[in-house]
Amino acid sequence: SSGINAEWPLRPGEIIIAALGAAINCYLKSTVLHFGGIIGLFVFIYLTASSKNTATPMKRLGYVSGLACCLGLESSYLLDYVISVDPSIIVTAFVTTSVVFVSFTLTALYAERRSMLFLGSLLSTALSGLLILSLANMFFRVPSIALFSVYLSLIISCLFVMYDTQLIVEKKRLGDNDFIWHSVDLFIDFVIIFKDLMIILTDKEKKKRRSNK
């Protein structure tokens, strides 16, 4: 478990910065900031991943902060929509995400060493299938397929938590001490689970309201 001890202090900071980014654009409702967040997200992921041997830890932490802020800006439209349906969904989704994340992390830590690493190829294949399905549905726009994609994304992300956790531990044992990039891996897993749960819970709430009319 020593392989992920260094990542834990970073994660609350990343979540707070992402929340601030989302709150700013929920207030401003800026399309420029939203799409800027999407572009910036890829830029900062690249900078963080590629600067292991060329930048100081503080500079890389700055990249991670930028990444978290851009992720918040990118998520602002979804959060704004969820708030318009029921603001309590955000709290429910966050608490559920935290419980799920901790549960799957502990499962990976206490499981047999390297027992989750076989998931890597399966998850990569599933992720490719999910991407193809999502791109195809951009043209067909079938609501049931869109919702199925969200459920599939949630399952894949939960499994990625276990895979990434064991991978980080193994990398640590092999001398890879890049705790900054390791924290990004798990942070992205957390955010995807959170967003998927918000979409699922919002869909359930809307169906519930329609059935009560």
Q: For 148-200, how does the pLDDT look when each residue is reduced to its tens digit (9 = 90+)?
A: 999 999 999 999 999 999 999 998 888 888 888 888 989 999 999 999 999 99
Nearest Cα neighbor of 46 from 76, 70, 75 is 70
pLDDT the model gives residue 122: 96
C-alpha 185/C-alpha 179 separation (Å) is 10
The percentage of the chain sitting over the pLDDT mark of 70, rounded to a whole number, equals: 94
C-alpha 137/C-alpha 143 separation (Å) is 9
What angle (nearest 5°) sits at the alpha carbon of residue 159, between those of residues 177 and 73?
75
Residue spans of alpha helices (H) in 29-56: 31-50
pLDDT the model gives residue 8: 53
Q: Report the predicted TM-score, pTM, of the whole model to 2 decimal places.
A: 0.92
pLDDT the model gives residue 172: 86
C-alpha 63/C-alpha 106 separation (Å) is 28
Which of 165-190 are b and which e, b meaning 16 or more Cβ less than 10 Å from the residue's Cβ?
bbbbbeebeeeeebbbbbbbbbbbbb
pLDDT the model gives residue 7: 55
What angle (nearest 5°) sits at the alpha carbon of residue 185, between those of residues 49 and 30?
85
Tens digits of per-residue pLDDT, 77-106? Answer: 999 999 999 999 999 999 999 999 999 999
Burial label for 61, CB within 10 Å (0-12, 13-18, 19+), is middle
Length of the chain counted residue by residue: 213
> Which of the four pLDDT bands, split at 50, 70 and 90, describes residue 201?
very high
pLDDT the model gives residue 117: 94
Tokens (6 digits) for 191: 């955010």
Supply the mean pLDDT for the chain: 91
pLDDT the model gives residue 9: 53
pLDDT the model gives residue 182: 86
Tokens (6 digits) for 49: 């991943």
